[in-house]
């Protein structure tokens, strides 16, 4: 029997479990660990609550989770409740699928002012991640600034702009819905340090901005490069640029009909945050420097101006959490690895392997390639294949250390309770408190 431990139950974790089942069939036992008592990682707490079709992939992961050779082992913090060396003693291979849960820091003056958040915290807040449920962003100002030109910036801007009615059918948590309902924001500026041709936002997601009830997008046509140069772009980027062009051509009188403007401020690199007038604690402005593109990079022109900002969300990428003694690539913010191998018997997949890029589906080939690599390492005796204690050994360890494990059958009870608590039309109302999650499995 092969014993495999996967740390992280998000897309990278479950695609790896699926691949391991394909690889070894009846001859493998897989334990999928998670720090939370609930599975699915980014599907639950990262994917936007109004993108339910993307979350449907959880049904595929459930199929894997219900296979009797796979176990969900929730409420276990690897590195705290159990260390990697112990897992390596118990399992033939340990795969880190821990994602990239920390924000890349925007290290500019004023970054500690209140009401500036990283996207991990802000997205976690509206998605009910227990760590960020109490974030309480102040939405009483008029101006929000969202920094970054990727899909996370787009998610944040869209969520800030939507009306309560537009959240029907979403699983946004009640505390966020209530706060957004009373929001006074009328201007959401998306700051991009480069230009339209360097946009990381994907066309489908950008297109959604044209169909918001309360908000309309705006691009300054002076920021658009000559249309003939679009031909050189990769087709996806070209489609995104076409959306930006259409935002630039919305007539002023049409735009004014909606109370919220989503303004793309491009070629604008943030250089400092300044406090609000009359406050020393809370953000009031973002100072930016105009840029031009040189060799695909943003280069400051020296010309600066300020953008009003009562709320700031930085969406500039993520970093993996380092684990003591595990090789880490500080610059890239992920585990140091060679095609997914960190050390013999220790692997990484998904964002923990390649950094925060790609779609949910990108994790599938990642998971399959790691299963192949583990098989190769077993065949080449890079991994010792002699008997290991596996899941029984872990259960003994957990009992000795009084760990309160949450199984998949427990999650099914938590799931039922969340579905039962859903407001009208919503798929669920998430628990945002770990103790409440654990209590729900016993109810």
User: Which residue in the set 20, 93, 149, 179 belongs to the binding site for ligand NAP (CB under 6 A)?
Assistant: 149
* Interface map 103-122 toward ligand NAP (x if CB under 6 A): ---x----------------
**Cβ closest to ligand NAP, residue 66 vs residue 299:** 299
Long-range contacts of 117-122 (CB under 8 A, 24+ apart): 117/311, 117/312, 117/313, 117/314, 118/313, 118/314, 119/148, 119/152, 119/153, 119/156, 119/313, 119/314, 119/315, 119/316, 119/318, 120/318, 122/156, 122/313
**Collapsed DSSP state (helix, strand, coil) of residue 390:** helix
Assess 223 for contact with ligand NAP (CB under 6 A). Answer: no
Yes or no: say if 98 and 321 are a contact pair by the CB < 8 Å rule.
Answer: yes
276 sits near ligand NAP (criterion: CB under 6 A): no
Given 177, 237, 283, 316, the residue binding ligand NAP (CB under 6 A): 316
Give the contact letters, 50-69, x = binds to ligand NAP (CB under 6 A), - = no: -x------------------
Q: What is the contact mask toward ligand NAP in residues 9 to 48, using x (rule: CB under 6 A)?
A: ----------------------------------------
CB within 8 A of 393, min separation 6: which ones? 89, 90
Question: Cα–Cα distance between 83 and 104 in angstroms, integer?
Answer: 25
- Nearest distance from C-beta of residue 351 to ligand NAP, angstroms: 8
268 binds ligand NAP (CB under 6 A): no
Burial of 25 per CB tally in 10 Å (0-12, 13-18, 19+): exposed
Element of type H or E holding 216: strand 215-219
- Measured from the CB atom, the residue of 21 and 352 that comes closer to ligand NAP is 352
Q: Is 195 in the site for ligand NAP (CB under 6 A)?
A: no
Nearest distance from C-beta of residue 167 to ligand NAP, angstroms: 17
**What gap in Å lies between CA 431 and CA 419, rounded to an integer?**
10
Give whichever of 79 and 355 is closer to ligand NAP, judged by the CB atom.
355
Residue 358 binds ligand NAP (CB under 6 A)? yes
Q: Point out which span in 146-154, 166-174, 211-219, 414-422 binds ligand NAP (CB under 6 A).
A: 146-154
194 binds ligand NAP (CB under 6 A): yes
User: H or E stretch including 31?
Assistant: strand 28-33
- Tell whether residue 150 is a contact of ligand NAP (CB under 6 A): yes
Select from 131, 138, 166, 205 the one that contacts ligand NAP (CB under 6 A).
Answer: 205
Nearer to ligand NAP, 260 or 315 (CB): 315
Phi first, then psi: what are they for 222, rounded to 5°? -65, -20
Q: Which of 279, 359, 376, 385 binds ligand NAP (CB under 6 A)?
A: 359
Identify which of residues 147 and 173 has a Cβ nearer to ligand NAP in the complex.
147
Using alpha carbons, select from 207, 204, 226 the residue that is nearest to residue 217.
207
The yes or no reply on residue 270 touching ligand NAP (CB under 6 A) is: yes
Q: Which helix (H) or strand (E) holds 247?
A: helix 235-248
How many residues at the interface with ligand NAP, by CB under 6 A?
Answer: 27
> Which residues does residue 275 pair with via DSSP β-bridges, in sequence order?
283
Crossing angle (nearest 10°) for helices 119-126 and 151-161: 40
- Asked if 262 and 161 touch (Cβ cutoff 8 Å), the reply is yes
Q: What residues make contact with ligand NAP under the rule CB under 6 A?
A: 51, 106, 147-153, 155, 192-194, 198, 200, 202, 205, 269-270, 298, 315-317, 356-359
């Amino acid at each position: 029997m092969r014993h495999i431990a996967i740390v992280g139950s998000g897309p990278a974790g479950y695609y790896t479990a699926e691949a391991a089942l394909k690889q070894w069939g009846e001859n493998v036992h897989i334990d999928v660990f998670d720090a939370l008592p609930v599975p699915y990682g980014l599907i639950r707490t990262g994917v936007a609550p109004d993108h339910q079709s993307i979350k449907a992939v959880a049904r595929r992961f459930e199929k894997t989770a219900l296979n009797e050779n796979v176990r969900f082992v929730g409420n276990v913090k690897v590195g705290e409740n159990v260390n990697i060396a112990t897992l390596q003693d118990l399992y033939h291979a340990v795969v880190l699928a821990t994602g990239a849960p920390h924000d890349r820091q925007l290290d500019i003056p004023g970054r500690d002012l209140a009401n500036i958040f990283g996207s991990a915290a802000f997205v976690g807040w509206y998605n009910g991640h227990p760590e960020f449920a109490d974030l309480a962003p102040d939405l009483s100002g008029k101006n929000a600034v969202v920094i970054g030109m990727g899909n996370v910036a787009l998610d944040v801007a869209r969520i800030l702009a939507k009306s309560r009615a537009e959240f029907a059918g979403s699983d946004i948590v009640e505390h966020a819905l209530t706060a957004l309902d009373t929001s006074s924001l009328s201007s959401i500026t998306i700051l991009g340090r480069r230009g339209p041709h360097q946009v990381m936002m994907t066309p489908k997601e950008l297109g959604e901005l044209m169909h918001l009830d309360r908000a309309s997008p705006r691009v300054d046509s002076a920021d658009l490069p000559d249309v003939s140069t679009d031909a050189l772009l990769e087709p996806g980027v070209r489609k995104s640029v076409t959306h930006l062009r259409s935002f630039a051509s919305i007539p002023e009188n049409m735009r004014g009909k909606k109370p919220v403007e989503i303004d793309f401020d491009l070629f604008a690199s943030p250089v400092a945050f300044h406090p609000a007038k009359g406050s020393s604690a809370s953000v009031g402005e973002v100072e930016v420097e105009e840029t031009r593109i040189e060799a695909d990079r943003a280069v400051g022109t020296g010309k600066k101006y300020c953008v009003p900002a009562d709320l700031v969300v930085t969406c500039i990428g993520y970093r993996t959490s380092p684990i003591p003694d595990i090789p880490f690539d500080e610059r890239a913010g992920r585990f140091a690895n060679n095609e997914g191998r960190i050390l013999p018997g220790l692997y990484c997949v998904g964002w923990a392997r390649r950094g925060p890029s790609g779609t949910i589906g990108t994790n599938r080939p990642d998971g399959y390639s790691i299963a192949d690599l583990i098989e190769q390492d077993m065949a080449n005796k890079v991994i010792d294949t002699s008997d290991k204690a596996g899941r029984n050994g872990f259960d003994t360890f957990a009992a000795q250390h009084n760990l309160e494990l949450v199984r998949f059958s427990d999650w099914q009870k938590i799931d039922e309770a969340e579905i039962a608590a859903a407001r009208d039309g919503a798929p669920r109302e998430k628990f945002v408190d770990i103790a409440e999650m654990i209590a729900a499995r016993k109810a």
